[in-house]
Chains A and B, each alone.
Chain A
Amino acid sequence: MSLDVALWLGQDGLVNGAIYALLALSLVLVFSVTRVIFVAQGEFVALGGLTLAALQAGRTPGTFWLLCAAHGAVALRDGAAALRAGSARGFGRSLLFHLGYPALLAPVLWLAPLRSAPAWVQIPLTLALVVPLGPATWRLAFEPIAGASVLTLLIVSVAVHLALVNLGLLSFGAEGVRTRPLSEARLSLGSVAVPAQAAWVVLFSAGLMAALWFLSRRTLAGKALRAAAMNRVGARLSGIPVALAGRWSFALAALVGAASGVLISPITTLYYDTGFLIGLKGFVGAVIGGLASYPAAAAGALLVGLFEAGASFWASAWKEIIVFGLVVPVLLWRSVAARHVVEED
């Protein structure tokens, strides 16, 4: 193997690994706060990419209707709860937010010339459409059973994944899409000409990871999230609204997923069901990190990306087996070591 090939493979593995690392971090975050293994994490990747592609093609993305339906359902639930509690004001406020939000987006989608709009308009709009689906998923599927066992939550999580995949098929169809790259330029690193988009992926991922770190370490909301993750009862006793923690973690998970989808959609073709495999590889990374430590999860995910690149060169037919087989020695080692990592350091 020449140096060129090694550089190419390293570049490829790094780009994929960066996306896996983002997803691994958000899986760890969601798991530690809510004890939900968020199988549907990958679906937000697909939704992000497909929504951006629909905007660029001048179509109304199906995500808008998903958002309307999800918010409608949440408003109904909230409304019923508020009425039962006899709080007309709470009812009005919930209705205003959940129905007002899609109503605010609608004129932008229909009236603005989004097809020719620059990326800095299209991308935030994509995030605005996809991210609220995260908290809505939490409210509808997980919040009512938040106290259930990890296994029950996992089963519901699989159901949410299947529902979202098929809703994706319904709203976007079976065909793949690709979006316009942020820039067509190429950066040369020695003999290797890296597409600028690949560099964007790595830079954005690193930036997003830094932002997540800052959020969890330096802000009150982040500290509250961590407190809720460490000890729910203790957190509630010290006045942290634990229910909100679930919403926030799902919003972050949806943000990370949608942003990953937007980042990789110019590099690869995205389908309504692409997300699952990407999410699963992020999960392998997170498992390597023991589902608890953020740096270990990120490192594990990068390892998955590099392993995958190598496997696709040497034994492409066995690639997935090699990548998912990585979990086995890790689990063996962890079960022998039997040291549960509770804190993230």
Chain B
Amino acid sequence: MTRLRLVLCALAPALLLPPAAAAQINVGVTVSATGPAASLGIPTRNTVALLPTTIAGVKVNWLVLDDATDSTSAVKNARKLVSENKVDVLVGSNTVPNSLAMIDVAAETGTPMISLAAGARIIEPVDAKKRWVFKTPQNDQLMAAAVAGHMARKGVKTAAYIGFADAYGDGWWSEFSRAAEGRGIKVVASERYNRPDTSVTGQVLKILAARPDAVLVGAAGTPAVLPQKTLVERGYQGLVYHTHGVTNPDFLRVGGKDVEGAFLPAGPVVVAGQLPDSHPCKAAGLEFVRRYEAAHGAGTASSFGAHAWDAGLLLQAAIPVALKRAKPGTPEFRAALRDALEGVRDLRGTHGVFNPSPADHLGFDERARVMVQVKGGAWQLVP
């Protein structure tokens, strides 16, 4: 009986609404599947393909475009999706510059947007434009605080930083230096390198000369291996920390024994299987990993795909609410969807528990991060 009612409920909108285009929801996704952020964009694209094609009985079309990690293309994609495909919501893109550039399109056309990039600047402060913008990855601030906290517990007095010479490296530098100061850790060196650099010997020598207790590598993906490899080569004995930007299987593959013992903050999904059963993110994390690896092979799931999965979960929570207020394809529906996204409560995602509010369009707390150590070529939860 219950099942019959469920089926009827699911069918109801389809029966009541005319079978026109209005009975479909279009989600426009722009990902950085080529260019420098391709290692984020490719798992995102793969994950979007796994998201449900019906939500609350309404057909959902996921339209995915590639922006080649170029902010001009991201804006072009967003405009095309909004004007030609009449999307009800925008998802993407993977990098902070691309997401920032897309905000204007979202605000101008009154389309809610869920960014998959980490920078807090994308959603803060919530103003007339950014009221349309949400995001799923953790703020760097939350992660930097975790790093500094762990350093303090390990008795670290002096730390050095080496990061990308771009928005990612600079963002982490400002968050980490602030967090370290709060914990009484002295930052004795700050160096930069470029993603495709073939050598960081100079920077590492400078860091070694400052004799820090710990080194934080502010880099994403496999390029983060090089500084630690060079440190190990030069006989550095202190602790090495990474950011959550490295949590993909390729980092472990390329790093091998050179990254053994490194600490990093990460979303709970990275160690979903090792979480205690009481952790709110365990179920969602395991579900994502199971679905992704069923489609792409064992050991392929990365935390970057999980951000897109979380965007999918947010939409699955918000769309049924918005459908009660308006029909898809209308400005009213987009406004209703925005309100519904802001009103999501206690949504257990793969990376954390979403509690957005009018002042905070992410709404994560401490449950959105765990400390992880590289042990035996795998991620190990640090209790």
Binding site for B on A (CB under 8 A): 5, 8-9, 11-12, 15-16, 19, 166, 169, 173-178, 195, 264, 267-269, 271, 273-274, 276-278, 308-314, 316-317, 319-320
Once A5-B209, A166-B34, A269-B225 are accepted as A-B contacts, the answer to whether A174 and B39 lie under 8 Å apart by CB is: yes
Chain B residue numbers with a CB within 8 Å of A174 are 34, 38-39, 41-42
Chain B residue numbers with a CB within 8 Å of A15 are 199
B8 within 8 Å of A (CB atoms): no
B370 to chain A, nearest CB (A): 24
Question: For the complex, what is the distance from the CA of A97 to the CA of B163, rounded to whole Å?
Answer: 49
Contact with B38, one of A19, A169, A268, A269 (Cβ below 8 angstroms): A169
Contact with A317, one of B192, B196, B199, B226 (Cβ below 8 angstroms): B192
B67 to chain A, nearest CB (A): 14
B294 within 8 Å of A (CB atoms): no
Question: For the complex, what is the distance from the CA of A311 to the CA of B165, rounded to whole Å?
Answer: 14
* Stretch from B142-150, B200-208, B328-336, B360-368 forming part of the interface with A: B200-208
Question: For the complex, what is the distance from the CA of A335 to the CA of B104, rounded to whole Å?
Answer: 46
Number of A-B residue pairs with CB-CB distance less than 8 Å in the complex they form? 104
Interface of A is mostly: helix
B261 within 8 Å of A (CB atoms): no
Not counting A12-B201, A268-B226, a sample of 16 additional A-B residue pairs whose C-beta atoms are within 8 angstroms of each other reads A9-B202, A16-B198, A16-B199, A174-B41, A178-B225, A269-B225, A271-B196, A271-B222, A273-B36, A276-B196, A277-B196, A309-B199, A312-B193, A312-B200, A319-B193, A319-B194
B201 touches A8 (CB 8 A): yes
A-B contacts, 14 listed (Cβ < 8 Å): A8-B201, A19-B198, A169-B34, A174-B38, A174-B41, A268-B199, A268-B226, A271-B223, A274-B198, A311-B202, A313-B203, A316-B191, A317-B191, A319-B194
B240 to chain A, nearest CB (A): 16
Chain A residue numbers with a CB within 8 Å of B250 are 175-176
Contact with B202, one of A176, A195, A271, A313 (Cβ below 8 angstroms): A313
Chain B, 173-194, contact with A by CB distance < 8 Å: what is the 0/1 string? 0000000000000000001111
A9 touches B194 (CB 8 A): no
Once A166-B34, A274-B196, A316-B165 are accepted as A-B contacts, the answer to whether A269 and B222 lie under 8 Å apart by CB is: yes
B221 touches A267 (CB 8 A): no
Contact with A5, one of B165, B195, B196, B205 (Cβ below 8 angstroms): B205
Question: For the complex, what is the distance from the CA of A273 to the CA of B253, rounded to whole Å?
Answer: 19
Question: For the complex, what is the distance from the CA of A283 to the CA of B126, rounded to whole Å?
Answer: 47
Chain B residue numbers with a CB within 8 Å of A267 are 198-199
B298 to chain A, nearest CB (A): 16
Contact with A176, one of B34, B192, B199, B222 (Cβ below 8 angstroms): B222
Question: For the complex, what is the distance from the CA of A8 to the CA of B256, rounded to whole Å?
Answer: 24
Which residue of chain A lies nearest to B225 when distances are taken between CB atoms in the complex?
Answer: A269
B233 within 8 Å of A (CB atoms): yes
Which residue of chain A lies nearest to B68 when distances are taken between CB atoms in the complex?
Answer: A166
Question: For the complex, what is the distance from the CA of A51 to the CA of B195, rounded to whole Å?
Answer: 21
Which residue of chain A lies nearest to B40 when distances are taken between CB atoms in the complex?
Answer: A174
B254 within 8 Å of A (CB atoms): yes
Question: For the complex, what is the distance from the CA of A319 to the CA of B199, rounded to whole Å?
Answer: 12
A175 touches B222 (CB 8 A): yes
Binding site for A on B (CB under 8 A): 34, 36, 38-39, 41-42, 162, 165, 191-203, 205-206, 209, 221-223, 225-226, 233, 248, 250, 253-254, 256
B198 touches A316 (CB 8 A): no
Question: For the complex, what is the distance from the CA of A317 to the CA of B203, rounded to whole Å?
Answer: 10
Question: For the complex, what is the distance from the CA of A173 to the CA of B225, rounded to whole Å?
Answer: 18
B203 touches A316 (CB 8 A): yes
A205 to chain B, nearest CB (A): 14
Chain A residue numbers with a CB within 8 Å of B226 are 268-269
A337 to chain B, nearest CB (A): 32
Contact with B254, one of A12, A195, A269 (Cβ below 8 angstroms): A269
Once A16-B199, A269-B254 are accepted as A-B contacts, the answer to whether A313 and B38 lie under 8 Å apart by CB is: no
Which residue of chain B lies nearest to A281 when distances are taken between CB atoms in the complex?
Answer: B198
B199 touches A12 (CB 8 A): yes
Question: For the complex, what is the distance from the CA of A106 to the CA of B380, rounded to whole Å?
Answer: 41
Contact with B206, one of A11, A273, A276, A313 (Cβ below 8 angstroms): A313
Once A176-B250, A271-B196, A316-B206 are accepted as A-B contacts, the answer to whether A9 and B201 lie under 8 Å apart by CB is: yes
B192 touches A8 (CB 8 A): no
Contact with A12, one of B34, B202, B206, B209 (Cβ below 8 angstroms): B202
Once A12-B202, A267-B198, A273-B196 are accepted as A-B contacts, the answer to whether A176 and B254 lie under 8 Å apart by CB is: yes
B168 to chain A, nearest CB (A): 14
Question: For the complex, what is the distance from the CA of A281 to the CA of B39, rounded to whole Å?
Answer: 25
Which residue of chain A lies nearest to B170 when distances are taken between CB atoms in the complex?
Answer: A317
Question: For the complex, what is the distance from the CA of A175 to the CA of B165, rounded to whole Å?
Answer: 19
Q: Interface centre among A9, A274, A311, A319, by most B CB within 10 Å?
A: A319
Which residue of chain A lies nearest to B162 when distances are taken between CB atoms in the complex?
Answer: A316
Which residue of chain B lies nearest to A166 when distances are taken between CB atoms in the complex?
Answer: B34
Chain B residue numbers with a CB within 8 Å of A173 are 38, 42
A8 touches B205 (CB 8 A): yes
Which residue of chain A lies nearest to B198 when distances are taken between CB atoms in the complex?
Answer: A268
Which residue of chain B lies nearest to A321 when distances are taken between CB atoms in the complex?
Answer: B165
Chain A residue numbers with a CB within 8 Å of B193 are 312, 316, 319
Chain B residue numbers with a CB within 8 Å of A16 are 198-199
A175 touches B194 (CB 8 A): no
A276 to chain B, nearest CB (A): 8
Chain B residue numbers with a CB within 8 Å of A271 are 195-196, 222-223
A193 to chain B, nearest CB (A): 9
Chain B residue numbers with a CB within 8 Å of A273 are 36, 196
Which residue of chain B lies nearest to A274 when distances are taken between CB atoms in the complex?
Answer: B196
A312 touches B199 (CB 8 A): yes
B205 touches A317 (CB 8 A): no
Chain B residue numbers with a CB within 8 Å of A316 are 162, 165, 191-193, 202-203, 206
Question: For the complex, what is the distance from the CA of A238 to the CA of B59, rounded to whole Å?
Answer: 73
A181 to chain B, nearest CB (A): 12
Chain A residue numbers with a CB within 8 Å of B206 are 313, 316
Which residue of chain B lies nearest to A15 when distances are taken between CB atoms in the complex?
Answer: B199
Chain B residue numbers with a CB within 8 Å of A311 are 202
Chain B residue numbers with a CB within 8 Å of A268 are 197-199, 226
